[in-house]
Structure 1
């Protein structure tokens, strides 16, 4: 039922404010199955690719710790894989702030629909350093792994994704990782017309998983402004958002 409200002596109808996060599930698969009751499920849709693209291409406050580490790492590595890098949004936001040589390779790994849209736009804008793959094995050996906003949407363990690379990266930068102290919870995020599984990981299990892959934690930073809660399950508390730099031991 549409809410009815009195305003200036007249009755007006107001549509309810859409909820960003709904539901709480124990696994990605369970959340995706629930999402399929709607019009679109998951992120791999052509019409979802441009949603919030311009906003994501702007430099945000939480990007600066990543830029701090990347300024030296891009000189050392010469290439990176930007996992979950959408349509090259971080390349577009970061390129004028980093010492990227002419031969530097910035490879975006993402879902097929996003890759198609990203490559088409990169070709149009003549961004020759930027390329796209929808299979991690096709990214080639890249010593630097960037995942900014990746972990919430990744449907496999990070170790499995890295295991598909020709060589394990020496450096891993992860940003905007959604965490909580309790058990891992998967909710559904509304993005355009799609509902997308969004994982909020148990913090201790997440750190144990990454360090168990043979990496040491070099740096960690908090992003309080990205803390959120599941609208339909406020009893689960607010999430934490954090960034990390891990280096191969």
Structure 2
């Protein structure tokens, strides 16, 4: 989303919010002329507008984050203070009149603050930094030694077997927690492959398995590991361990990202 589109989105938010404010005031003024309006006397245009303000900020934030997307990912931001100031600017309960609120100015101020918080030129670095941190955490790389086997970098992790199926069905199934962890690793692996492709011009596959398919692969394990393809890499499931077999080029890309953004 370019600057013109983002500006158009913020203008639209301001226009809609102004329309909501005007309709709420108009409805409150017309209540005494509406048949059966006694039941609606509890309508409070201030509270109604307050809810609209909260929704308006969500739309502003969404438009801003879409404008800062890189590598198919939105950055995470801490905009608590910006949100608080936006609500304060449009806090009609402590203003003389809801009609006097300058909605356009409040929207422009919030968007300007968001732009200062994360300028467009810094968005790519921020997305890369956050992705590097997530990959490092989910794969626990700080506790891993580099193991090369057959021309691949191998990351090995312990697996927990479901005790109930082991006891009653005599079957080696991965536990719910192990499958959940693998799913999180697959999700961040996919994002990292997208980053790798767009950074290097490669065309590494980005396919991963669904949670249901993963469960099928992690059931009834034996001495011979099950092997599946994820993002063009091999993922091997054994009874007590599972392994990611990554290419050296991809592993080097990940290592470089983590070194650049987490130190």
TM-score by length of 1: 0.25
Larger strand fraction of residues: 1
Larger helix fraction of residues: 2
Larger Rg: 2
